[in-house]
Amino acid sequence: MTPKPPLHPIFLDLDGRDVLLVGAGEVGLRKAREFVECGALLRVVSPGFHPDFTELEGRFQRLRRPWRPGDEDGARLVVAATSDPAANRAIHARCSRRGILCNVVDVPDLCDWQAAAVARSGAVQIAVSTRGAAPSLASHARRELQDWLADGFAELVELFGRLREEYRSRMSPGIRERFWKELDIAVLLDILRTRGVQACEERIRELADTLGRDVSDSRTPQGRVILVGAGPGHPDLVTRLGLRMLARASALVHDRLVAPELLRAVPASCRIFPVGKTGFGESPKQEEINALLVDLAREGHLVVRLKGGDPFVFGRGGEEIEACAAAGIAVEVVPGVSSSLSVPAWRGIPITHRGLSRSFAVVSAFHADGTAARIPDVETVVVMMPLHSLGSVKARFFEAGWDASTPCAAIQSGTAPDEREVLATLSDLDEKIHAAGLRSPLLVVVGAVVGWAREHRAAPDHVLTRARTEPGS
């Protein structure tokens, strides 16, 4: 069965709008309280009313009778909460014909909209929906979020709202947008929680004054570039600092292999530029990527360059820093979890192990100038992206004196949903990879530690960290 697409989250302004509630039992009472709190002009139709409706007296219109066709006239929303399934279906059918959004309580298939569990504090609201599958879990999430909101976030929202109005006339639109996006929210929350709202406000004003001294409102301020390591593929393996930078980005330049979830971590207004490279295929040249980073920073953007793994492990991050430095663009680096070490670990392969491996090396199949990389004198070697040069890779190991029976592991898309592994020896490595149909991204681990991992797995396909991946991946 094809899963349904996600619900579209939306907040409705019901202040002064007509809402019809049919049914006045315990569920209807709860719904009535919610609508009255939102300022709705609420009409409640029911032959009988829960006694606690008296607490809302004067804040809704009471119609003590059964529902009649036409009661929905003028309603913005309708809720059917009667104990009669046939009546509920009739109400929904009539509303559907008239284009009125209707919610039949506890019948997800008859809900054009669904009420969410809402955490509120001041002007902040966070709604949680499970599409009706687990209301109790939505309520649990609401309670957790309520505690979080109460821990300074709502106060920070109020402070931002007041200062944004003040600075609206004191900053040009471009500078204002950059200023609010680049504020470090985690730092401000820490100041607010430990030193109070006044100290937090003083810090924001200090930053605004600094920005005002550094740039002229008559020109666009120069932005900067942040190289962020996205980790090996699993979205949970990006660093917390990397996520914070994504949340502040106004332009995102990303590799092909980063997790889709990370692309959704940027603000809705962020400009997104995919520059993924494919081995031996048509893809953007490094010089073009360098120029894009410089151009975006000159336009005033906070540019996040999201790179798979770590920017400095075969990520060409150094070249991008050189290009930005030549153009006078400031660059920061947020290290990432390198796939060269994390992917073997994810598969339960230790790169070093007492008595087996005291040293390791990470090499690429070829250097940038096309020459073959030599195999260093170590006990474990991780070869990055060797798919199109497996024969040459094997030959270099043999030239360096490695035994043909040395255990190897070839891992495709490590930590990602399409992850696959082939265990082999140096003698049959290329044949087994081709027979299995492995494809890029691929890395190969060579050394006795692979044999150790194979012996210590509970089952041939056991992965020690599998519980951290999504079900079925």
CATH of residue 301's domain is: 3.40.1010.10
Do 248 and 280 fall into the same domain?
Answer: yes
Residue pLDDT, tens place only, 212-237: 665 444 455 678 999 999 999 999 99
Question: To 5 degrees, how large is the angle CA 132–CA 135–CA 140?
Answer: 145
Residue pLDDT, tens place only, 9-55: 788 899 999 999 999 999 999 999 999 999 999 999 999 999 999 99
Q: Are 95 and 102 in contact (CB under 8 A)?
A: yes
Residue pLDDT, tens place only, 385-396: 888 888 888 889
Do 196 and 304 fall into the same domain?
Answer: no
Q: What pLDDT shows up at residue 463?
A: 47
Given 172, 192, 214, the domain boundary residue is 214
Do 57 and 25 fall into the same domain?
Answer: yes
Residue 249's domain comprises 224-337
Asked if the structure places residue 318 within a domain, the reply is yes
Do 172 and 247 fall into the same domain?
Answer: no
Asked if the structure places residue 12 within a domain, the reply is no
Q: Which residue has the higher pLDDT, 263 or 469?
A: 263
Do 256 and 359 fall into the same domain?
Answer: no
Asked if the structure places residue 202 within a domain, the reply is yes
**What is d(CA 102, CA 96) in angstroms, rounded to the nearest whole number?**
8
Do 101 and 139 fall into the same domain?
Answer: no
Confidence label for 370 from pLDDT (cuts 50, 70 and 90): low
Q: What is the mean pLDDT of residues 164-177?
A: 78
**What is d(CA 159, CA 138) in angstroms, rounded to the nearest whole number?**
29
Q: What pLDDT shows up at residue 8?
A: 81
Asked if the structure places residue 3 within a domain, the reply is no
Do 310 and 401 fall into the same domain?
Answer: no
**Res. 152: pLDDT tops 90:** no
**Res. 107: pLDDT tops 60:** yes
Q: What pLDDT shows up at residue 278?
A: 63
Residue % of the chain over a pLDDT of 70: 91
Asked if the structure places residue 122 within a domain, the reply is no
Mark whether 151 is an active-site residue.
no
Do 280 and 395 fall into the same domain?
Answer: no
**What is d(CA 118, CA 139) in angstroms, rounded to the nearest whole number?**
8
Instruction: Name 224's bridge partners.
Output: 302, 330
Q: What pLDDT shows up at residue 465?
A: 45
Any idea which of 120-124, 157-161, 289-293, 466-470 has the lowest mean pLDDT? Answer: 466-470
Q: How far is CA 147 from CA 116, 141, 150, 263, in A?
A: 17, 10, 5, 28
Q: What pLDDT shows up at residue 106?
A: 84
> What is the residue-averaged pLDDT of the chain?
87
Do 333 and 345 fall into the same domain?
Answer: no
Residue pLDDT, tens place only, 310-358: 999 988 999 999 999 999 999 999 999 999 999 999 999 999 999 999 9
Asked if the structure places residue 10 within a domain, the reply is no
Query: In three state form, how does the secondary structure of the chain look?
Result: CCCCCCCCCCCCCCCCCEEEEECCCHHHHHHHHHHHHCCCEEEEECCCCCHHHHHHCCCEEEECCCCCCCCCCCCCEEEECCCCHHHHHHHHHHHHHHCCEEEECCCHHHECCCCCEEEEECCEEEEECCCCCCHHHHHHHHHHHHHHHHHHHHHHHHHHHHHHHHHHCCCCHHHHHHHHHHCCHHHHHHHHHHHCHHHHHHHHHHHHHHHHHHCCCCCCCCCEEEEEECECCCHHHCCHHHHHHHHHCCEEEECCCCCHHHHCCCCCCCEEEECCCCCCCCCCCHHHHHHHHHHHHHCCCEEEEEECECCCCCCCHHHHHHHHHHCCCEEEEECCCCHHHHHHHHCCCCCCECCCECCEEEEECECCCCCECCCCCCCEEEEECCHHHHHHHHHHHHHCCCCCCCEEEEEECCCCCCCEEEEEECCCHHHHHHHHCCCCCEEEEEEHHHHHHHHCCCCCCCCCCHHHCCCCC
Confidence label for 269 from pLDDT (cuts 50, 70 and 90): confident
**Res. 471: pLDDT tops 50:** no
Asked if the structure places residue 439 within a domain, the reply is yes
Number of folded domains in the chain? Answer: 4
Q: What is the mean pLDDT of residues 418-431?
A: 92
**Catalytic residue among 84, 112, 217, 277, which?**
277
Mark whether 277 is an active-site residue.
yes
**Catalytic residue among 112, 217, 255, 428, which?**
255
Given 165, 184, 214, the domain boundary residue is 214
Given 162, 188, 214, the domain boundary residue is 214
Do 325 and 374 fall into the same domain?
Answer: no
CATH number at residue 27: 3.40.50.720
Confidence label for 121 from pLDDT (cuts 50, 70 and 90): confident
Do 325 and 353 fall into the same domain?
Answer: no
CATH number at residue 459: 3.30.950.10
Residue % of the chain over a pLDDT of 90: 56
Asked if the structure places residue 11 within a domain, the reply is no
**Res. 279: pLDDT tops 70:** no
Do 67 and 39 fall into the same domain?
Answer: yes
**Res. 141: pLDDT tops 90:** no
Confidence label for 281 from pLDDT (cuts 50, 70 and 90): low
Confidence label for 70 from pLDDT (cuts 50, 70 and 90): very high
